[in-house]
């Protein structure tokens, strides 16, 4: 493994990395579901540990520069962060100009396989000598759905942040359940295994703000700490600084909420 200092973050984004000498990063592989070799991007503080850890789960666009930069931002504040490439078996990200193909890929990916890949990522993090053993997870769009699924169907996390996870109440636009997606994450929230934060854009439709109360009620039954916030002036993917949907003020507020939430439950920094 040849670690290098990554590129700085785009100017002005929440948690921007400006001094890259504080972190190291590299492309890695780890054992996922079925012992398949899964690619990923790992960033960590250059300073000696131990450090808590974070799994950063991609949007539908895959393990792109933005998701790598989000991992860098967590490394910059003291976390070991891995962003798994959940499209490893498909050879990389889909053509985002062909949304029908993108959706077909998403709906065909077996939940159980993704859970196995995320378990592999968590095991890699916990096995590191510079790790505290505490592991959190944050996911965006499709990654938000998988964050909810991982935090309910497994007990490997110490904290979870779902950022506008789509299709959490049904498998596809027309089906509640499919063989690949047998149980909507919303229906599993009563068995939540760790503290949860959920962010939803007030102008989003998938998930819609109407789901916020359902999430609070169902997740609250688990006995875990649950925070659900609807962000005004924001729609889907408002943290994605490379997309037209980016909204600087709600994005900054989200980061300001996420950092202390993770600090409470993972033992990381509060700023």
User: Which are the contacts of 11, defined by CB distance < 8 A and separation ≥ 6?
Assistant: none
The active-site residue out of 44, 51, 66, 236 is 236
Give the CA distances from residue 117 to residues 98, 188, 230, in Å, rounded to whole numbers and listed in that order.
26, 19, 30
Task: Using the structure block, give the residue that is written with the tokens 């505490």.
Answer: 134
Please tell me the distance from the alpha carbon of residue 211 to that of residue 205, in angstroms, as a whole number: 10
Task: Using the structure block, give the residue that is written with the tokens 């950022």.
Answer: 163
Q: In the 8-state DSSP scheme, what is residue 21? A: G
The active-site residue out of 85, 117, 204, 241 is 204
Whether 188 contacts 168, CB under 8 Å? no
Stated as kind and residue range, the H or E segment containing 265 is helix 248-266
Backbone phi and psi for residue 196, each to the nearest 5 degrees, phi listed first = -135, 135
Catalytic residue list contains 155: no
Whether 194 contacts 138, CB under 8 Å? no
Please tell me the distance from the alpha carbon of residue 29 to that of residue 220, in angstroms, as a whole number: 36
The active-site residue out of 111, 137, 141, 265 is 141
End-to-end alpha-carbon separation of the chain, Å?
30
In our burial notation (b when 16+ CB lie closer than 10 A, e otherwise), range 52-66 reads bbbbbbbbbbbbbeb
Catalytic residue list contains 204: yes
Q: Which residues are catalytic?
A: 141, 204, 236
């Amino acid at each position: 493994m040849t670690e290098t200092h990554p590129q700085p973050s785009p100017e002005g984004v929440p948690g921007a990395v400006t001094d890259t000498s504080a972190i190291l990063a590299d492309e890695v592989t780890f054992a996922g579901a079925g012992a398949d070799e899964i690619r990923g991007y790992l960033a960590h503080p250059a300073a000696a540990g131990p450090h808590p850890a974070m799994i950063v789960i991609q949007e539908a666009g895959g393990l792109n520069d933005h998701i790598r930069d989000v991992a860098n931002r967590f490394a910059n504040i003291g976390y070991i962060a891995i962003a798994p490439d959940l499209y490893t078996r498909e050879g990389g990200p889909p053509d985002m100009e062909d949304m029908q193909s993108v959706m077909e890929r998403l709906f065909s990916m077996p939940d159980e396989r993704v859970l196995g890949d995320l378990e592999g990522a968590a095991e890699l993090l916990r096995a590191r000598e510079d790790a505290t053993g505490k592991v959190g997870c944050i996911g965006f769009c499709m990654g938000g759905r998988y964050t909810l699924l991982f935090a309910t169907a497994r007990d490997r996390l110490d904290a979870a942040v779902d950022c506008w996870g789509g299709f959490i109440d049904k498998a596809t636009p027309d089906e509640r359940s499919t063989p690949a997606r047998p149980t909507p994450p919303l229906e599993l929230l009563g068995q939540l295994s760790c503290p949860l934060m959920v962010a939803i854009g007030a102008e989003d439709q998938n998930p819609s703000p109407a789901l916020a109360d359902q999430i609070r009620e169902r997740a609250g039954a688990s006995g875990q700490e649950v925070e659900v916030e609807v962000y005004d002036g924001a729609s889907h993917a408002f943290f994605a600084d490379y997309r037209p949907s980016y909204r600087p003020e709600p994005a900054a507020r989200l980061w300001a909420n996420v950092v202390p939430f993770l600090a409470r439950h993972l033992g990381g920094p509060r700023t």
